[in-house]
């Protein structure tokens, strides 16, 4: 991928104050969770357990990158859709970025399709701190394999929070004991949507599932037959119920102003060999979430797939 060839749209977002968002989330999450605490805090050192991220914080020039999308995967994979983390940082006008989030792993390096948990920092001194992970299927047993990604590339799609990776003020959200239908990230997204309407609010960061089980998927290797319906996609994906503590990285957007944005995308990793695409918690009585988020000042829409032909 050449930087000067790929299409990038810079989409401005609505940036309310952290205090304003805190109030909105406190009220919104109470509809789904019995115990909710939301406050503005100094970002904890995210390089430390239980976070294991590549930079201390998620502050400074926070923006989202929404790269490619399922349109490059379905109905059949486009194997030439390969992206480099460093190029994405440059396209987001932040060459020394810290990036975290969800995507598809580099199949040309991993050997098969995989889930990507991006977690890489390009330091100003040229040092690269790469703690990104991928999870893939053991093609013999169907089990999950979680491993470090020793490469700086990915495929097909990515939804990343891009920032300077500095310490600073963040929104801390703690929620436990779910009584409503919406899980943690959907609750956050829907709370923002209900309050801010068609003003797009973009949020990114990290959250932990500290207690309770989580429903996830790992993509199977690329299908040789076209996947033309949601039912076919669901049969192709492999679903898992994973154990705490899961570290989820990604982003969400409250409103799509017409760029075919992924409005919510979180992938998780762990220190116990499990990881993949986060869907929702499955033990509402037990579940405990804790997250740290920032509000992004823009979204960089990179290589938006063409709209599928109307059928
Ligand atoms: Zn995913």
| 92-142 pLDDT per residue, tens | 999 999 999 999 999 999 999 999 999 999 999 999 999 999 999 999 999
Please give the pLDDT value at position 179. Answer: 98
Instruction: Note the helical H segments in the chain.
Output: 18-29, 85-91, 107-110, 184-196, 230-236
Q: Measure 99 CA to ligand 1 centroid, in angstroms.
A: 16
Check pLDDT > 70 for residue 80. yes
Q: Measure 248 CA to ligand 1 centroid, in angstroms.
A: 11
Please give the pLDDT value at position 166. Answer: 98
| 34-49 pLDDT per residue, tens | 999 999 999 999 999 9
Check pLDDT > 70 for residue 84. yes
The residue to which tokens 């050192």 are assigned:
45
Q: Measure 262 CA to ligand 1 centroid, in angstroms.
A: 10
Q: Measure 117 CA to ligand 1 centroid, in angstroms.
A: 9
Q: Measure 125 CA to ligand 1 centroid, in angstroms.
A: 32
Quickly state the pLDDT bin for 303 (edges 50, 70, 90).
very high
Q: What percent of the chain has pLDDT over 90?
A: 96
Please give the pLDDT value at position 310. Answer: 52
How many Cβ atoms from other residues are within 10 Å of residue 179's Cβ?
A: 11
Quickly state the pLDDT bin for 308 (edges 50, 70, 90).
low
How many Cβ atoms from other residues are within 10 Å of residue 54's Cβ?
A: 22
* Domain 8-302, architecture per CATH: 2-Layer Sandwich (3.30)
Please give the pLDDT value at position 311. Answer: 46
Q: Measure 213 CA to ligand 1 centroid, in angstroms.
A: 18
Check pLDDT > 80 for residue 3. no
| 8-41 pLDDT per residue, tens | 999 999 999 999 999 999 999 999 999 999 999 9
Q: Measure 70 CA to ligand 1 centroid, in angstroms.
A: 9
Q: Measure 71 CA to ligand 1 centroid, in angstroms.
A: 13
Please give the pLDDT value at position 309. Answer: 54
| 198-255 pLDDT per residue, tens | 999 999 999 999 999 999 999 999 999 999 999 999 999 999 999 999 999 999 999 9
Please give the pLDDT value at position 146. Answer: 98
Average predicted confidence (pLDDT) for the chain: 96
Which residues lie at CB < 5 A from ion ligand 1? 102, 277
Please give the pLDDT value at position 5. Answer: 80
Quickly state the pLDDT bin for 298 (edges 50, 70, 90).
very high
Helices first, then strands: H and E counts in the chain: 5, 19
Check pLDDT > 70 for residue 155. yes
Joined together, the tokens standing for residue 176 give 């436990």
Joined together, the tokens standing for residue 254 give 């409250």
Quote the crossing angle between the two packed helices 18-29 and 184-196, to the nearest 10°.
120
Q: Measure 267 CA to ligand 1 centroid, in angstroms.
A: 6
């Amino acid at each position: 991928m050449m930087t000067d060839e790929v299409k990038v749209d810079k989409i401005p977002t609505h940036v309310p104050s952290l205090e304003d968002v805190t109030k909105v989330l406190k009220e919104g999450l109470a509809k789904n969770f019995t115990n909710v605490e939301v406050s503005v805090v100094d970002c904890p050192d995210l390089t430390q357990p239980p976070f294991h991220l590549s930079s201390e914080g998620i502050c400074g020039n926070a923006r989202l990158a929404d790269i490619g999308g399922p349109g490059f995967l379905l109905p059949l994979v486009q194997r030439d859709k390969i992206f480099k983390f460093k190029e994405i940082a440059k396209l987001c006008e932040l060459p020394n970025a810290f990036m975290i989030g969800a995507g598809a792993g580099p199949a040309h390096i991993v050997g098969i399709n995989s889930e990507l948990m991006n977690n890489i920092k390009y330091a100003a001194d040229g040092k690269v701190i790469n703690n990104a992970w991928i999870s893939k299927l053991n093609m013999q047993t169907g089990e999950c394999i979680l491993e470090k990604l020793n490469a700086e590339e990915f495929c097909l799609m990515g939804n990343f929070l891009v920032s300077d990776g500095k310490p600073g003020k963040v929104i801390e959200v703690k929620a436990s004991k779910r009584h409503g239908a919406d899980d943690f990230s959907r609750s956050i997204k829907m709370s923002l949507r209900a309050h801010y309407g068609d003003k797009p609010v973009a949020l990114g960061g990290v959250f932990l599932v500290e207690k309770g089980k989580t429903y996830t998927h790992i993509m199977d290797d690329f299908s040789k037959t076209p996947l033309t319906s949601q039912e076919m996609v669901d049969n192709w994906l492999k679903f898992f119920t994973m154990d705490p503590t899961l570290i989820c990285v990604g982003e969400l957007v409250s409103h799509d102003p017409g760029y075919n944005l992924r409005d919510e995308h979180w992938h998780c990793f762990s220190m116990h060999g499990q990881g993949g695409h986060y869907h929702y918690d499955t033990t509402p009585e037990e579940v405990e979430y804790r997250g740290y988020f920032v509000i992004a000042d823009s979204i960089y829409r990179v290589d938006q797939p063409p709209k599928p032909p109307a059928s």
